[in-house]
Amino acid sequence: MALLEVKDLEVSYGVIQALKGISFEVNEGEIVTLIGANGAGKTTTMQSVIGLIPKNGGSVTYDGQDITKMPCHKIVHFGMSQVPEGRRIFQELTVYENLMMGAYSIKNNDSFKEDLEKVYKRFPRLAERSGQIAGTLSGGEQQMLAMGRALMSRPKLLMLDEPSMGLSPLLVDEVFDIIKDINKDGTTILLVEQNAGKSLAISDRAYVLETGSIVLSGTGAELAASEEVKKAYLGV
Amino acid sequence: MEFIETLINGLSIGSTYAMIALGYTMVYGIAKMLNFAHGDVIMVGGYMIYVGLTVTGNPIISFIAAVLSSIILGITIEKIAYKPLRGASPLAVLITAIGVSYLLQSSAQMIFGSAPKMVTIADLGSINFSGLTIPVYVLVTLICSFVIMTALTLFVKYTRTGRAMIAVSEDKGAAQLMGINVNKIIMITFAIGSGLAAFAGLFMLMKSPSLSNTLGAMPGIKAFTAAVIGGIGSIPGAMLGGILMGVVEAISLKIQAIAPYTDAIEFLILIIILLVRPTGILGKKRREKV
């Protein structure tokens, strides 16, 4: 059974239909990527799945539960976590306080220290800068913090929305390595990316989103080899 | 000696403003709205003290009842008037807040009449302290406000709910992704703000016992000014702005030549500070990141 199952999901902003009934699934242990151009509906998909914006139709099932109508703060409690587009870390809080907010959904958190150690081990820069105000971090460090924050809730499914955006090529490689690594440690990944080449290379499966509809799907390797994807997204 | 007395008096007026300003600033910071009915919650609290005193004769019971009913009132206003407008244009919310303000004032007038009520809470007298004569109510105001403001600061900085408030004020969406129930945090903010307003009502009635349905109007506007001076959205800013307004008011009232213009002077300070620092003294410049 799929960990996340999205069926005929529709989302509209006023009269504009941003998602025209898309269906996809993410199985436990996989890395699944949605690729697509600007305005294809990638971020809308991410935000509506986790309940940040309302859905107009369709259903979302997570871990066997219907979460279609559940508000975001409740969904998060079930072990779904998201690194939002543009990182959106809490600029005025310190690095440590940001990570603490990441663990907010776990009440009576006995393993907070342990989780913090793990995040610091994965992102040594964050450990060095734990007392620093997050707004003063560099773009790359802020991305690490956003990922670390999302991991503090011990998610079963980690969703990342454009984690490579605005980063230098060197950092982009590092981010993709880290995503692979997080997946290897047992976290299922749903990734949204414009960087189709890099994301398809690490994906088990992928979907191509075009103006609110899924037009192609397959394994990462299949899509990377497909003529249409090559032309439209890989620039070859 | 007289100057020190004036200063202490100013601090007590200022801490009353600060208590009200905190309500404005916290609600603005977290719900991103100007709650212009906030001043009138003070007035309702005042009438609750009056009713309590008439019924029980016990100032402490009356005051506790006033705090509780103010908190319930604040939460109710938020639920009925503001929550349905979440996401609506700021202008619609602002007009609604003004409507709520008039609703509260008119309801009080219908229930209690327009003649002011005399509310004598307790005659506390004054104490002499190495040549200074200080009314006891001034000391009560100062001590209470100090304790409350310290507690509030610690609450916001060190509790789970307090940190959630900071997170919501910074980024509602990101806060939801952390598992924070934004509606609950907004409700708690209104509860705290309204509770503080009841304290302000008590301080005001201890100072001058005349109670009418416009009790909260002018102090509400002045406290709002104080919140803007300090930097709207900033908790220490509201405290600083409130104290500043109170001290200026007390000093200005003591100088005969300018005493009649005290209110004008206070608002002039707002204009000057906004010209020099548009975000207020402790207001942060928010960098918009793409």
Contact A104 B160 (CB under 8 A): yes
In chain A, whose CA is at the least distance from the CA of B181? Answer: A73
Beta pairing partners, A193 = A35
pLDDT band at residue B285 under the 50/70/90 scheme: low
C-alpha B104/C-alpha B138 separation (Å) is: 28
In chain A, whose CA is at the least distance from the CA of B179? Answer: A73
Shortest CA gap B254–chain A (Å): 41
C-alpha B16/C-alpha B37 separation (Å) is: 17
Average pLDDT on A204-221 reads 94
The per-residue pLDDT for B59 is 92
Average pLDDT on B217-225 reads 96
Reading the block at residue A12, the tokens are 């509209």
Contact between B224 and B241 under an 8 Å Cβ cutoff? The reply is no
How far CA B2 is from CA of A130, B6, B250, B261, in Å, comes to 50, 6, 12, 21
Residue length of chain B: 290
Interchain CB contact of B61 with A (< 8 Å): no
Contact B174 A84 (CB under 8 A): yes
Q: Hey, what's the torsion of the CAs at B172, B177, B178, B182, to 10 degrees?
A: 40
Identity at A72, one-letter amino acid code? C
C-alpha B201/C-alpha B268 separation (Å) is: 25
Contact A76 B181 (CB under 8 A): no
Q: Hey, what's the torsion of the CAs at B267, B273, B275, B281, to 10 degrees?
A: -140
**pLDDT tens per residue, range A26-84:** 999 999 999 998 889 999 999 999 999 999 999 999 999 999 999 999 999 999 999 99
**pLDDT tens per residue, range B188-216:** 999 999 999 999 999 999 999 999 999 99
Shortest CA gap A122–chain B (Å): 20
Interchain CB contact of B160 with A (< 8 Å): yes
User: Which H helix or E strand runs over B12?
Assistant: helix B2-31
Give the number of C-alpha atoms closer than 13 A to the C-alpha of residue B75, restricted to the C-beta side: 14
Q: Which of B177, B182, B279, B286 to probe the A interface (max A CBs under 10 A)?
A: B177
Helix, coil or strand: residue B14: helix
A236 vs B10, residue with greater confidence: B10
Which residues are CB-neighbours of B70 under 8 A, at least 6 positions away? B41, B44, B45, B48, B194, B195, B197, B198, B201
In whole numbers, what is the pLDDT of chain B averaged over residues? Answer: 94
How far CA B219 is from CA of B8, B197, B236, B253, in Å, comes to 19, 11, 19, 16
Partners of residue A105 in chain B, C-beta under 8 Å: 178-179
Partners of residue B158 in chain A, C-beta under 8 Å: none
The per-residue pLDDT for A105 is 92
Interchain CB contact of A50 with B (< 8 Å): yes
Interchain CB contact of A135 with B (< 8 Å): yes
Shortest CA gap A221–chain B (Å): 32
ipTM metric: 0.94
C-alpha B234/C-alpha A1 separation (Å) is: 49
Interchain CB contact of B179 with A (< 8 Å): yes
Contact B173 A92 (CB under 8 A): no
Q: Using N-to-C axis directions, what is the helix angle for B38-56 and B182-207, rounded to 10°?
A: 60
pLDDT band at residue A108 under the 50/70/90 scheme: confident
Partner residue opposite B164 with nearest CB, options A50, A89, A104 = A104
Contact between B77 and B197 under an 8 Å Cβ cutoff? The reply is no
| Per-residue burial over B220-233, b = 16 or more CB atoms within 10 Å of its CB, e = otherwise | bbbbbbbbbbbbbb
Interchain CB contact of B187 with A (< 8 Å): no
Interchain CB contact of B156 with A (< 8 Å): no
How far CA B29 is from CA of A97, B50, B168, B247, in Å, comes to 19, 32, 8, 25
Structural Rg of chain A based on CA atoms: 17
**pLDDT greater than 80 at residue B289:** no
Partners of residue A71 in chain B, C-beta under 8 Å: 176, 181
Q: Which of A101, A138, A149 to probe the B interface (max B CBs under 10 A)?
A: A101
B67 sits in the region (left: phi over 0; alpha: psi -120 to 50; else beta) called: alpha
**pLDDT tens per residue, range B47-104:** 999 999 999 999 999 999 999 999 999 999 999 999 999 989 999 999 999 999 999 9
- Count the neighbouring beta carbons within 10 Å of the beta carbon of residue B150: 10
Q: Which of B166, B178, B288 to probe the A interface (max A CBs under 10 A)?
A: B178
Interchain CB contact of B171 with A (< 8 Å): yes
C-alpha A223/C-alpha B31 separation (Å) is: 45
How far CA A96 is from CA of A22, A85, A167, A221, B182, in Å, comes to 38, 21, 23, 39, 22
